[in-house]
Amino acid sequence: MNSCTLQRRAFLLGSSMVAVWMSSPGRAFGLTKPVSLPSERVRSLIARMTLEEKAGQLTLAFAAYAGAAVAAHNPAQAQMQVDNQREQVRGGLVGGIFNGRSIETSRAMQTAALASRLGIPLIFGADVIHGYRTIFPVPLGEAASFEPSLCERTARAAAIEASADGLDWTFAPMVDIARDARWGRSVEGSGEDVLLGSDIAAARVRGFQGRSLRDADAILACPKHFAAYGAGESGLDYNAVDMSELRLRETYLPPFKAAFDAGALSTMAAFNEINGVPCHANRWLLDGVLRKEWGFEGLVVSDFNGDLELIKHGIARDERDAARLAIMAGVDLSMASGIYLKHLPDLVAKGEVPTDRLDQAVARVLTVKERLGLFDDPFRRLDLQRAKKVTGTPAHVALAREAASKSIVMLKNEGTVLPLPRSGKKIALIGPFSEGPHDLVGPWTVFGTDQECVDLATGMRAAMSDPTLLTVTQGSSTTIPLDGGIEAAVAAAKEADVVVLALGEHQRMSGEASSRGQIVIPEPQQRLAEAVAATGKPIVVLLKNGRALVLEGAVAEASAILVTWFLGAQTGHAIADILFGKASPSGRLPVSFPRDPGQLPYYYAHKPTGRPAESKRYTPFTTRFIGLSNTALYPFGHGLTYGDIAYEDIAVISANDGVTVGALISNRGARAATEVVQLYVQIVTASLTQPVRELKAYRKIELAAGGSQRVSFQLRKADLEIMDADHTRRFEAGTFKVWVAPSAEADGVSGSFKL
Ligand code: BGC
């Protein structure tokens, strides 16, 4: 931006908005980014607003009608809270409401907002993470589909249901890269890989926001949590992050950039600090990188009380100081804490927060409301009739089944125990996740419930020609043994031809504030598995999990293992589709399953060392643990099908501006299969060390029994760039190794090229 443009903007925007920019670190870095002008409507509103009304617009209130349980417990008190909130709205002191659970009450709130002095409509937000009423697989599970267009379709369906039922805004997608499986919120993201994570981030944004934000069935996306929330020390939630800027930019920021490039107009600050600065007070991140460098024009919302928590982080003296630090860093909208409403008017009146920073934040909030069409029709997404019509439609239910089926990953299938025959065999279904309306939706859904989902036993019975051949035995609860449970399970196993063992984590063992130190099957269930295995019957393990797990003993040694995550509405039917061979497994791990919790954080795209453990045998003075291989038990990208897939005949053709890599993929099996063909590259020598392998492309192909297909990928020099020490992406000429392979640690077929 030249100085002439700057002066014109200064005139139009108000001089101190530009003053903020002129003195910003972004400018000092030589970064430039023009800011779009607020509309005439927005500017004229801001000109008429009082300080209190402005602070109100920057306040996102937790819905007084968020908890049905509270309302049932004490209806009078619940009503009083709703009345108080409506009064606040009527006074123009609330900009938006989140996680409300009643469209009628939201309509009443919107009516109150329109009756306020300036009649500015509210924005309604909520956590619509993986479906609204029709619940799709948890995001980590869905990432296993390696099919961004599927993620786009489920996000679209969620937006259609949520938008009719009163929501303008979802606090999703979570795009945090997660490489430490102890972190409970791994379940909400797309796993460990930058490329897959970025593709899915963009796809989900497109799905939520639809063709135009103005459309009544579009909802605003909010990629979160900005930034590096998935990198907390020891996988502990909210924990500090200390990392190089290079790592941050190479690994943790790209999915956000992809989401913003796809049009996301909001983001949420992360709870954690990065290198001593909590994200809610991180001006370099929120203003420098996000605004000045990337040109983000949407709004930044705090996480729940994240601004207030600056006190406990130890950088704000009190609430007032916390509000000042957060707004000055670039947090526009304060979620839950109420400290903007309480302190911003005084902070601005005393000159501690410039009026123009306040106005800038208000302009962003109002502009987003305008882009959502809320000024034209504040009730466009509060449409009871439409909600009834579009919720839980057969198309959404079918999509839930498709998505769930595509999320399942088959880790092993010895002696082709799977698929099971639909008739003629007695099946003992054993384990805490066998039946009942629990642990189906996953750790975090505001609206969908387990009661609305199909459980495993129901799905299996529906698929069997003779459902009486199925017995169901709980055997153990998730973390506590059941009296006589093991004995009953062993007896059932002895009676059966095959055992299906449904084991794993209940849904409060992942999600927010649910990190685990030992990512293993809880002990009572492991004991159950050992006892059942001792019967000698073939065992199919169905894992219920919100993260990568470490598998041991009878679980690891089962004849077949399927990863089934939390699959949502159609759980039972989708698992049955795979178990009985109606669909061939096609999911691939979006996170590596390590051999031992001590390997964490474990991810395939790690750096080499000067002493890599190159041999499978123990070699002294190499990078490995004592008595433990340094590989994954099941690496990123792994997943089997009912086919028998072979990789052959690699062809690597390099030209001036890039390379084409092709391989022949064949299905030598007797059943059709879907294969996810993956292209990995290692940059052998560069000015900075590079990962041992990095996913550069992937393609899902259908192969008939006995069929084959030549798959080729093209990489341009831009795809092979590295980030240099100055954080600039550039291509460095050299030698590159390349693999076309079925996982990040499989050999597949490989070659090399120079460019
Ligand atoms: C979570 C956010 C979520 C917010 C509102 C917070 O605790 O970190 O991801 O959007 O609550 O429910």
pLDDT tens, residue by residue, 88-101 = 999 999 999 999 99
pLDDT tens, residue by residue, 296-339 = 999 999 999 999 999 999 999 999 999 999 999 999 999 999 99
Are 432 and 474 within 8 A, CB to CB? yes
Mean pLDDT, residues 700-711: 98
DSSP 187-224: GGS--S-HHHHHHHHHHHHHHHH-S-TTSTT--B---E
The H or E element that residue 250 is part of is none
Cα of 456 vs centre of ligand 1, distance in Å, is 30
CA separation for the pair 592, 745 (Å, rounded): 10
Mean pLDDT of the chain: 94
Mean pLDDT, residues 430-459: 96
Mean pLDDT, residues 213-236: 98
Residue 9 confidence (pLDDT) above 50: no
Residue 669 confidence (pLDDT) above 70: yes
The H or E element that residue 224 is part of is strand 224-226
Residue 599 per-residue DSSP state: G
Tell me, using a 6 A CB cutoff, whether residue 171 lines ligand 1.
yes
Among protein residues, the one whose CA lies closest to atom 12 of ligand 1: 127
Among protein residues, the one whose CA lies closest to atom 10 of ligand 1: 171
Mean pLDDT, residues 654-662: 95
pLDDT band at residue 70 using 50, 70 and 90 as cut-offs:
low
pLDDT tens, residue by residue, 152-165 = 999 999 999 999 99
Mean pLDDT, residues 105-123: 98
Tell me what percent of the chain is helix, strand and coil, each rounded to the nearest 5.
35, 20, 45
CA separation for the pair 6, 2 (Å, rounded): 6
Q: What is the dihedral of CA 369, 370, 375, 379, to 10 degrees?
A: -50
Mean pLDDT, residues 448-469: 97
pLDDT for the residue 415:
86
pLDDT band at residue 647 using 50, 70 and 90 as cut-offs:
very high
Tell me, using a 6 A CB cutoff, whether residue 224 lines ligand 1.
yes
Residue 6 confidence (pLDDT) above 60: no
Mean pLDDT, residues 112-125: 98
Q: Which atom of ligand 1 is nearest to the CA of 446?
A: 12
pLDDT for the residue 618:
81
Residue 191 confidence (pLDDT) above 80: yes
Q: Which atom of ligand 1 is nearest to the CA of 172?
A: 10
Cα of 338 vs centre of ligand 1, distance in Å, is 15
Are 210 and 218 within 8 A, CB to CB? yes
Computed from CA positions of residues 379, 382, 384, 386, in that sequence, does the dihedral angle turn out positive or negative?
A: positive
pLDDT band at residue 28 using 50, 70 and 90 as cut-offs:
very low
Lowest mean pLDDT segment, chosen from 58-72, 95-109, 265-279, 551-565: 58-72
Q: Which atom of ligand 1 is nearest to the CA of 225?
A: 9
Cα of 312 vs centre of ligand 1, distance in Å, is 18
Angle at alpha carbon of residue 267, lines to 727 and 546, rounded to 5°: 95
The number of beta carbons lying within 10 Å of the beta carbon of residue 66 is: 18
Mean pLDDT, residues 201-218: 98
Cα of 444 vs centre of ligand 1, distance in Å, is 10
pTM to 2 decimal places: 0.95
Site to probe by mutation for ligand 1, drawn from 167, 170, 171, 268 as the one with most ligand atoms within 8 Å of Cβ, is 171
Mean pLDDT, residues 220-232: 98
- Between 14 and 628, residue with greater pLDDT: 628
pLDDT for the residue 14:
34
Mean pLDDT, residues 105-131: 98
pLDDT for the residue 69:
64
Are 713 and 679 within 8 A, CB to CB? yes
Q: Which atom of ligand 1 is nearest to the CA of 188?
A: 9
Tell me, using a 6 A CB cutoff, whether residue 304 lines ligand 1.
yes
The H or E element that residue 754 is part of is strand 749-754
pLDDT tens, residue by residue, 172-185 = 999 999 999 999 99
Catalytic residue positions, numbered: 303
Mean pLDDT, residues 48-52: 98
pLDDT tens, residue by residue, 545-556 = 999 999 999 999
Residue 674 confidence (pLDDT) above 90: yes
**DSSP collapsed to 3 states, 603-636:** CCCCCCCCCCCCCCCCCCCCCCECCECCCEEECC
Specify the amino acid at residue 634. Y
Tell me, using a 6 A CB cutoff, whether residue 512 lines ligand 1.
yes
Site to probe by mutation for ligand 1, drawn from 176, 272, 279, 304 as the one with most ligand atoms within 8 Å of Cβ, is 304
Cα of 304 vs centre of ligand 1, distance in Å, is 6
Cα of 127 vs centre of ligand 1, distance in Å, is 7
If we measure between CA atoms, which residue out of 470, 553, 545, 449 comes closest to residue 503? 545
Mean pLDDT, residues 95-123: 97
Residue 19 confidence (pLDDT) above 50: no
Specify the amino acid at residue 468. T
pLDDT band at residue 617 using 50, 70 and 90 as cut-offs:
confident
pLDDT for the residue 16:
38
CA separation for the pair 125, 63 (Å, rounded): 10
- Based on its alpha-carbon atoms, the radius of gyration of the chain, rounded to whole angstroms, reads 27
Residue 747 per-residue DSSP state: -
Among protein residues, the one whose CA lies closest to atom 7 of ligand 1: 304
Cα of 240 vs centre of ligand 1, distance in Å, is 18
CA separation for the pair 196, 151 (Å, rounded): 12
Residue 247 confidence (pLDDT) above 80: yes
Tell me, using a 6 A CB cutoff, whether residue 127 lines ligand 1.
yes
What count of Cα atoms within 13 Å lies in the side-chain half-sphere of residue 693? Answer: 21
pLDDT for the residue 15:
35
Residue 25 confidence (pLDDT) above 70: no
Residue 251 per-residue DSSP state: I
Residue 225 per-residue DSSP state: E
Computed from CA positions of residues 82, 88, 90, 95, in that sequence, does the dihedral angle turn out positive or negative?
A: negative
Task: Decide: helix, strand or coil at residue 752.
Answer: strand
